[in-house]
A and B are shown apart, each in its own frame.
Chain A
């Protein structure tokens, strides 16, 4: 599998997914 960080779009999409995961995690488990 290609490393998503090798492309700008792959990096940005990974960042959006990570943001969504962290937001859900904070809302669900931490607040």
Chain B
């Protein structure tokens, strides 16, 4: 087993777990918790102390996951993204991951900055941002199911241990 692909695979998995884990945290825990917290006036604790930290790790782990995935594909990068023969499965996974990375940086993060008051926004803009960030996050949750199917499909014993 070569060192660079082995390290790239390890990093891809570590960062991917952090990214998708935080995506699941947002969708399964934080969004419902914020609704309940808004009702009893305790939402500020989440929006001020938890959400910014979670978003920091979320958006940068997405970048690291993608870069490590690209390094792992190496010379097969083009074959994967053009869904070449024998690379369609991992290629679909790579496209799904790329769309999810785009959603994180182009939709979720800019809108979360407005919601959390890191960027100036009117109440109307904040409401619109809330809806957009929510839908992009849910869209990524939906995409994570086929993403993990196609990514895990490439994880054979041979790939993992060089057997």
Contacts and interface: CB of A to CB of B under 8 A. Distances in A.
Interface in B33-79: none
**Which bucket holds chain A's interface residue count?**
10 to 19
B146 A19 contact: yes
Given A8-B27, A30-B83, A19 B88 contact: no
B145 A26 contact: no
A12 B138 CA distance: 9
Interface string B127-148: 0000000010011011111100
A7 to B, nearest CB: 9
Nearest to B137: A5
A15 B149 CA distance: 11
B142 A5 contact: yes
**Which bucket holds chain B's interface residue count?**
10 to 19
Interface of A is mostly: helix
A15 B142 contact: yes
In the A-B complex, the 9 residue pairs with the closest CB atoms = A15-B145, A30-B88, A5-B138, A19-B146, A15-B142, A26-B88, A14-B142, A22-B146, A11-B138
Given A12-B141, A14-B142, 10 more contacts: A5-B135, A8-B27, A12-B142, A15-B141, A15-B142, A15-B143, A22-B149, A30-B88, A31-B86, A31-B88
B88 A23 contact: no
B38 to A, nearest CB: 17
Interface of A: 3, 5-6, 8, 11-12, 14-16, 18-19, 22-23, 26, 30-31
Given A22-B92, A26-B92, A31-B88, A11 B83 contact: no
A6 B143 CA distance: 15
A19 B28 contact: no
